[in-house]
Structure 1
Amino acid sequence: MSERQRATPTIQDVADLAGVSRAVASRALSAEKRPVSPDKRERVLKAAQELGFRINLLAQSLTTKTVNLIAVVVNHIHDLSDLDLFDLLLAETQAIGKQVILIRVGSNDRAEEFLRQGIAYHVDAALVFSDFADAVTVRQMFRSDLVVMLNGRHDRQSPAVIADEAQGIGEAVADAAGKGVATAGLVTGRASSLVEQARVTSYRQAFERHGIKLVNSVQGDYSYSSGHDAAKSFAGSDCPDAVFCTSDAMAMGILDACRADFPGNRPRRFRLYGFDNLSLLDFDAYPIASIGYDKLAYVRHVMRFLSTPDAFTPGQKPTAIPTRFISRSTAG
């Protein structure tokens, strides 16, 4: 083994062996897309492998002022819709050379505790799903201006991506009205969420527009168990013609609790509608009519703000992703 191989290799050793400048070697080994010819990149990578060179992320962060980490701030991860979305989010984040750390807030008190105790993480940006965190608080938590708000609590200084839920909700309610639905039940999620408040408002407006009377509203928390518990509210003879849930997980709970009312997955006493268009709904067990949006398009809009922060202008309106209704057998 040579002296070069025995010593801890440096970026200069890699550059010398590859026959390029130190700057070119650094660009070739960067996780970010930086200009370097394919031939030089291949030589640098081969040299790094031969020398056993490993990038010193701490030293790199001191030079570039970045750590290639993105904080994702959530309340919790127990809603099934989180799984579909976060798998895409992780893949697209890694595709731009960054990694994710998850921070579970859980409650408004917890968000205030983070701020009060000065808890902060050195990250390049934050993506905020938690409805307990506003844009100002998150910017203070991370001491960063690059905060993408996904919870409806954005301000003029933060980019935001939202789903245009009114469109899909309107289509779902129109579908029910076209099938003779005159009364409806609504199973809702967390009342503190601005996104949920807007969602419920959209349902109420669509019911009114189509002459459907809302006769029963039940508070859930987006989870399967809360939907299963809510099913008892629709067990009597005064059951509405249709039940709309603001998450698919709650609709799945209702379907399982009321399987006798869906022989062959077709509605006998009431029609059932969910929200999120989970991938699970494409299987035979849960053919629930739902409302969804293109999650990949949503995530890529988020990535655009991360990779090109200049794409956002203060005061810019949120980027809206359209939703649509997907009919399945529980709607009849």
Structure 2
Amino acid sequence: MIESRKRLGQPTIADVAELAGVSRAIASRALSSEPRPVSADKRERVLQAAQELGYKPNLLARSLTTKTVNLVAVVVNHIHDLSDLDLFDLLISEIQSIGKQVIFVRVGSSERIEEFLRSGIAYHVDAALVFSDFANAATVRKMFRNDSVLMLNGMRDGGAPAIIPDELTGIAEAVSDAARKGVRTATLITGRAASPVEQARIGHYKSEMQRNAISLIAEMRGDYSYQSGRRVAASPEWQKSDAVFCTSDAMAMGVLDVHRSVFPENRPAEFRLYGFDDVTLAEYEAYPISSIGYDKTLYISEILRFLTTPELFQSGGMLVQVPTYFVLRSSS
């Protein structure tokens, strides 16, 4: 019987248990991603049997008994910014470390969200992590038919907890650094202004510039990407100022490449340059951008706290803030 099922490619948990010489309950415990009691000897026999048979667990069947599928949805606008790569690589690794897998849902626009709803597209997931600012909590609850929604985009309601970096601290340190160095005029290069996070970020920059007697002479729009930083820096609207603040490191890198001639040995000769995100690439000699960052390990540990303690999703409008910091490098 086992050989027959193996040939058909349909081994079951019963087949694994029979080959390992254990009960189905013990085989199930041994193959569970959750820490469940089973002796080391029996676990080893079960794992060996599962490998020999090519057994793969039926997530749907398991979900009927455990009420979980060990899948987490991550809802994003897109993934192209350098900061996305830094964050999501670590996030996926940490989620996998607790026995869950990630599915990415790229929405890209509010129209795309509506398309998901009209088409009835949904995934059975244990929780949804929402980075996209095109999606509010109520919409995501409808998309996944699940109330376990964690907002990471600056948007939240009374039924969804949220985690955000406390950006004012890092921005205040960066602007104060510029003021101490004699900066009196500044240019601000921003991302998508419709984003609640970006709106708050822009507000922090403006209030801190005012507090430090720095005049904002130009506010220019990018989209967080390197290409948009280059485009803005090379545009006819570019004006000279004492400092340029970018709301992403990628845009600051684009600015730096356009104006390399006024950064001899990566040091400012005409204007000081500041980024945001503290991406890994800024640690290398090619792009030593002074930047504002946050502890991504701490940020992700807060996300994991919700995933490993599902009852926290019932905490309503709970807000967790992760502190930011300023990193001084040669561009400023």
Q: TM-score range by the shorter chain?
A: over 0.9
SS of the aligned residue for 1:12 comes to: helix
- Pick aligned residue for 2:188 from 162, 168, 186: 186
Identity level (%): 64
Partners of 2:226 and 2:254 within 8 A in 1: yes
Say yes or no: does 1:287 pair with 2:294.
no
1:126-158 C-alpha deviation (Å, 9 max, x unpaired): 111110100000000110011111101111211
1:12-46 C-alpha deviation (Å, 9 max, x unpaired): 23334434332221111012333333333223212
Say yes or no: does 1:325 pair with 2:330.
no
After TM superposition, the score normalised by the length of structure 1 is 0.93
Q: What is the rounded CA distance, in whole Å, between the counterparts of 2:140 and 2:108 in structure 1? A: 14
For 1:254, the aligned partner's letter is V
User: How far apart are 1:283 and its partner, in Å?
Assistant: 0.9
For 1:53, the aligned partner's letter is Y
Q: What is the rounded CA distance, in whole Å, between the counterparts of 1:225 and 1:30 in structure 2? A: 46
1:167-200 C-alpha deviation (Å, 9 max, x unpaired): 1001111111111111111000001100000111
Partners of 1:234 and 1:240 within 8 A in 2: no
1:311 match = 312
1:29-71 C-alpha deviation (Å, 9 max, x unpaired): 0123333333332232123234443323333233333322221
User: How far apart are 1:311 and its partner, in Å?
Assistant: 2.9
SS of the aligned residue for 2:281 comes to: helix
Unaligned runs of 5+ residues in structure 1 are none
User: How far apart are 1:324 and its partner, in Å?
Assistant: 0.3
After TM superposition, the score normalised by the length of structure 2 is 0.93
SS of the aligned residue for 2:121 comes to: coil
1:14 match = 16
For 1:302, the aligned partner's letter is I
Partners of 2:241 and 2:271 within 8 A in 1: yes
Partners of 2:150 and 2:313 within 8 A in 1: no
Say yes or no: does 1:144 pair with 2:140.
no
The number of residue pairs the alignment matches comes to 328
Partners of 2:183 and 2:242 within 8 A in 1: yes
Q: Give me the CA root mean square deviation.
A: 1.9
1:49 match = 51
For 2:64, the aligned partner's letter is L
Partners of 2:188 and 2:216 within 8 A in 1: yes
Q: Structure 1 pair 216/234, CA: closer, same or farther in 2 (3 Å)?
A: farther
Q: How does 1:130-279 map to 2 (within 5 A)?
A: 130-232=132-234, 239-279=240-280
Partners of 1:146 and 1:306 within 8 A in 2: no
The worse-fitting range, judged by mean Cα deviation, of 66-75 and 214-223 is 66-75
Unaligned runs of 5+ residues in structure 2 are none
Q: What is the rounded CA distance, in whole Å, between the counterparts of 1:55 and 1:96 in structure 2? A: 17
User: How far apart are 1:253 and its partner, in Å?
Assistant: 0.4
The worse-fitting range, judged by mean Cα deviation, of 20-29 and 319-328 is 20-29
The worse-fitting range, judged by mean Cα deviation, of 270-279 and 176-185 is 176-185
Q: What is the rounded CA distance, in whole Å, between the counterparts of 1:116 and 1:156 in structure 2? A: 25
Q: Structure 1 pair 313/122, CA: closer, same or farther in 2 (3 Å)?
A: closer
For 1:86, the aligned partner's letter is F
- Pick aligned residue for 1:117 from 116, 119, 130: 119
Q: What is the rounded CA distance, in whole Å, between the counterparts of 2:328 and 2:236 in structure 1? A: 22
Say yes or no: does 1:64 pair with 2:66.
yes
The worse-fitting range, judged by mean Cα deviation, of 288-297 and 26-35 is 26-35
User: How far apart are 1:316 and its partner, in Å?
Assistant: 4.5
User: How far apart are 1:313 and its partner, in Å?
Assistant: 4.4
1:206-264 C-alpha deviation (Å, 9 max, x unpaired): 1111111111110111011111111136987x511100000000000000000011011
